[in-house]
Structure 1
Amino acid sequence: MSVHPQPEYPAADVLIIGGGLSGALLAAQLLRQPGRRRLLVIEPRSELGRGEAYSATHLGHTLNGNAARMSVDPDNADDLTHWLEQHIAAGGWPESALQAVPVAELFPPRGLFGVYARQRLAQAQALGECQGSSLAHVRAEVVDLQVDERGVRLDLDDGRIVHGARAVLATGMFAAARTARIDDDRFNAAAVDPWDVSAMGRIDPRGRVLIIGAGLTMVDAVVSLEQAGHRGPIEVFSRHGLLPQVRRQPPDWSDFLAADPDLRSPLQLLRALRGQCRQAQALGIDWQAPLDTVRVHIARLWSQASDRQRRQFVRHVRPWWESHHHRSPPQGAALLARLVEEGRLRIHAASLQGLASVPGESPVISVRFRGQSQTTEVAGAALINSSGIEYDWRRVDRPLPRQLLHRRLIRPGPLALGIAADPGGAVQHADGQFSERLFAMGPPLRGLWWESTAVTDVALQAKALALRLATLQR
């Protein structure tokens, strides 16, 4: 058997681990910085900029924010709007006419957003090449990482080894549906991917589908089922039984947090926000208007809160925050409302206790409904895991997180959300020291900033981290 030699790469100035949106935006910002630098992005997918979120191929899987909220350029909030205007004028996305709203208010398909992100990266790459910088995409998965005083070494799953002066963990989100968890291998093996429309086409179109989780991933799963031709009942189980609110376009509201610096704790914020929402409703204004002013203050409020206050927020407020802040795009919300009205979709407040069947058989789950002490077994034709994102790296059964923890190169972030780092993204080792070689951005910093996954959050972090890395000596 012949062995094909693996290509070798010279040592990089920055190794970017992950080529989804986080890695692509960081690469683009670094390429725009003055000076010459060599970047390597290690990403197993064939295209950079898409990652988990923007690899969707069906038009029904849309962004949950309108174009005006989703620019990848932190210095130009209208960048996506302008790109869409040009794209539509050139004949792209003819289905946009069905939404009958201004371009800034459109909710583009996630796959189309991936095209936009890739194009912006290509433009930055062309600019970087003019300045002597380079970008290479290494198609592989990083399975191990070592740091010493000379730099960083990455071991890849195909046996290659790459070196660099510094590395950035831009791993994005570990979706529960696509991430084997150490304690529930059987459950994931029995579940259908929420975004796999072709797999859903093999489900009995009249069969009962069981969905675990009621967040935005569930909305995607229901859209996938609809596109696959499923017409049977759908049973959704989540601990609190809360559906995502539909995202609307509320009018501007005064920034009440900027006007009152004494509001510091999550509890104070919640009380003040409820009062603002009541005021808005009394004036006939959408309650989402006051809520949308909170976003720019979230990082500050979360970072200055005590661990006790954070735990209180996660335990008592988080479900309502998630359902009201991370809202559903109008198309998905309309589909859910129609299916509920038809009696095909039912939402249950119940916690999953386990899988009662074995993979390969019709799934049977064990759940405990809210207010009951005993468990109930529920059978279906198919099971979908829509339980969202796994932020606790200790529970993610992937080679790199395991090795980073084993080598004590990372430590869990606050409340075990992501990993610990300083405000500039330098990763904190298990001994408490902040690394001079290893950095992180985006979803891994959930515990540091709470909201660290939205496009605008990631874009701002990419710009700040690129500026920091550009100032460091090799």
Structure 2
Amino acid sequence: MSETPRAQATDAIRHADILIVGGGLSGAMLAAQLLRLPGKRSVLVIEPRAELGRGEAYSAVELGHTLNGNAARMSVDPDNADDLTQWLTEHIEAGGWPESDQQHVPISELFPPRGLFGVYVQQRLREAQAVGALNGSTVEHVRAEVVDLETLDDSVRLTLSDGQRLQGAYAVLATGMFPAARTPQTQSSGVNAAALDPWDVAAMRQLDPQSTVLIIGSGLTMVDAVVSLEQAGHRGPINVFSRHGLLPHVRRQPPAWVDFLAEDATLRTPRQLVRELRRHCRDAIARGIDWQAPLDTVRAHIGRLWNQATDAQRRQFVRHVRPWWESHHHRSPPLSAELVARLHGEGRLHIEAASFKGLAPSTHGDNVSLYIRRRGEAETSVVSGAALINSSGIEYDWRRVARPLPRQLLARGLIQPGPLALGIAAAADGAVMDAKGDVSDRLFAMGPPLRGMWWESTAVTDVASQAKALATRLTKPCSH
């Protein structure tokens, strides 16, 4: 993959057919799909990291940080659900990932390390480059951050952190996720400045192994943080605080279940969905079948159900159902879940239903202290530990993200928050909607920024399908 070196500020403007803002999974998959389509086109992917295809999620280097879905669920090829399984088979046969035999399951049921998944994405991108080269198509990695974006009558112009300016017929916001633990926020309690990165094993090795660690949030980021602590040699207490005190369930491989949503077109609202899903789960349990079987059939319909729901129904879902949806649907890989269960059983990991209310003045030297309010209590309490980890998940509200591009897009009125302030608003084909409600014919988005449009817009299969559809849309002959 060719990479453009950082340049000094210049008045020159580089031109390309398509500009992709972000080079993680979303950007890499869109680039691959564009390369595979007939025709000659130039694509620039603007990504500050040294490699494309990794982003936040797949830059992990520890083997213990695995995907939370097995290989059969994580193909980047929307036309071949077995693509990752096939790649892993070849990779393992060639001597790669020797630790895979520790999971004792067929290759399709393996949960690969996230870093290895990044290697898979990069290989598929290189293969697409070879296909594109036959047509004269190119993809180039511009290593910088996009700090501003303007839409012109016939193009989009980007300004980069190193002073470069790029111009293309189309631009795509493939910015991926903004993890709360790593994202500067406009409304911040300073928690990130006081917290350890959930994936920074090296920093955790500096802790007293017997010290107490505090964690805010109990979702999958917390699971990763516990894995990091274990690999760092930490053996002390871990105290987890989250509003509902729910842990992710372990992901299993349930048998097939009838697609009840496809069979009943009257199920349209979140309330109807939850009621019917509970009925099917009870039926499965009564028949000795894993309750995850009926739950897994819902995945294919969630985007349609969310998109056709009213804002009132969506708010009802977020307020009353979301915590349980997250813990049941966004499940933990088996090895990580086993670690969490073991530490909980040993009494080392404690989880409390409590709301984080801010940092408190420390009264124990270098310790970190928090204000929390436990569920059912009116008064706040203070808890202290040697270290704090912010595992509160993903920040989807772009108004709270203190990065140059989201702030500039909002200031220019080029975007508006998506439903319930989840991501940004867009048409069904990913065309971005501005502050006035007008749909752009030059600026598009895909992946996590469309969370508010489809609710689930972050899984690999979601991103792969969106990439294929958007590539087709961007390569249609212009109608204007």
Both structures adopt the same fold (TM-score exceeding 0.5): yes
Structure 1 position 182, deviation (Å)? 1.6
Structure 1 position 9, deviation (Å)? 6.8
Alignment of 1:328 with 2:328, yes or no, is: no
* 3-state secondary structure, aligned to 1:424: coil
Q: 2:36, 2:131 within 8 Å by CA — same for their partners in 1?
A: yes
* 3-state secondary structure, aligned to 1:218: helix
Alignment of 1:405 with 2:410, yes or no, is: yes
Which string of whole-angstrom CA distances, capped at 9 and with x for unpartnered residues, describes residues 257-288 of structure 1? 11111000000000000000000001100000
Alignment partner of 2:475 out of 455, 470, 473: 470
* 3-state secondary structure, aligned to 2:399: helix
Q: 1:186, 1:358 within 8 Å by CA — same for their partners in 2?
A: no
Instruction: Indicate the residue corresponding to 2:153 in structure 1.
Output: 149
Structure 1 position 150, deviation (Å)? 2.5
Instruction: Indicate the residue corresponding to 1:263 in structure 2.
Output: 267
Structure 1 position 472, deviation (Å)? 4.0
Q: 1:190, 1:358 within 8 Å by CA — same for their partners in 2?
A: no
The equivalences for 1:89-168 within 5 A come to 89-168=93-172
* 3-state secondary structure, aligned to 1:252: coil
The equivalences for 1:197-346 within 5 A come to 197-346=201-350
* 3-state secondary structure, aligned to 1:166: strand
Separation in 1, partners of 2:433, 2:185: 24
Which string of whole-angstrom CA distances, capped at 9 and with x for unpartnered residues, describes residues 290-322 of structure 1? 000000000110011111000000000000000
Structure 1 position 357, deviation (Å)? 3.1
Which string of whole-angstrom CA distances, capped at 9 and with x for unpartnered residues, describes residues 115-162 of structure 1? 000000000011101111011100000011011103111111111111
Q: Which amino acid aligns with 1:236?
A: V
Over aligned residues, Cα RMSD in angstroms? 1.5
Gaps of 5+ in 1: none
Q: Decide whether aligned partners of structure 1 residues 4 and 220 sit closer, same or farther in structure 2, where only a CA change above 3 A counts.
A: closer
Alignment of 1:444 with 2:449, yes or no, is: yes
Q: Decide whether aligned partners of structure 1 residues 32 and 6 sit closer, same or farther in structure 2, where only a CA change above 3 A counts.
A: farther
Alignment of 1:28 with 2:29, yes or no, is: no
Q: Which amino acid aligns with 1:54?
A: Y
Which string of whole-angstrom CA distances, capped at 9 and with x for unpartnered residues, describes residues 352-382 of structure 1? 0000137994210000000000000000000
Which string of whole-angstrom CA distances, capped at 9 and with x for unpartnered residues, describes residues 308-340 of structure 1? 000000000000000000000001100000000
* 3-state secondary structure, aligned to 2:14: coil
Separation in 1, partners of 2:208, 2:253: 38
Separation in 2, partners of 1:268, 1:357: 47
Alignment partner of 1:421 out of 426, 433, 436: 426
Q: Which amino acid aligns with 1:377?
A: V
Structure 1 position 5, deviation (Å)? 4.9
Instruction: Indicate the residue corresponding to 2:439 in structure 1.
Output: 434
Q: Which amino acid aligns with 2:139?
A: L
Between 320-329 and 141-150, report the one with greater CA deviation: 141-150
Alignment of 1:394 with 2:395, yes or no, is: no
Separation in 2, partners of 1:358, 1:19: 40
Q: Which amino acid aligns with 2:268?
A: R
Separation in 1, partners of 2:269, 2:236: 45
Separation in 1, partners of 2:175, 2:115: 19
TM-score (norm 2): 0.97
Instruction: Indicate the residue corresponding to 2:3 in structure 1.
Output: none
Structure 1 position 6, deviation (Å)? 6.8
Structure 1 position 185, deviation (Å)? 5.2
Q: Which amino acid aligns with 2:399?
A: R
Separation in 2, partners of 1:86, 1:302: 38
Q: Which amino acid aligns with 1:97?
A: D
Alignment partner of 2:352 out of 348, 352, 367: 348
Between 79-88 and 184-193, report the one with greater CA deviation: 184-193
Identical positions, percent: 71
Q: Decide whether aligned partners of structure 1 residues 33 and 368 sit closer, same or farther in structure 2, where only a CA change above 3 A counts.
A: same
Structure 1 position 205, deviation (Å)? 1.0
Alignment of 1:190 with 2:194, yes or no, is: yes
Q: Which amino acid aligns with 2:250?
A: V
Alignment partner of 1:357 out of 361, 364, 367: 361
The equivalences for 1:48-63 within 5 A come to 48-63=52-67
Q: Which amino acid aligns with 2:424?
A: I
* 3-state secondary structure, aligned to 2:475: helix
Q: Which amino acid aligns with 2:314?
A: R
* 3-state secondary structure, aligned to 1:294: helix
* 3-state secondary structure, aligned to 2:373: strand
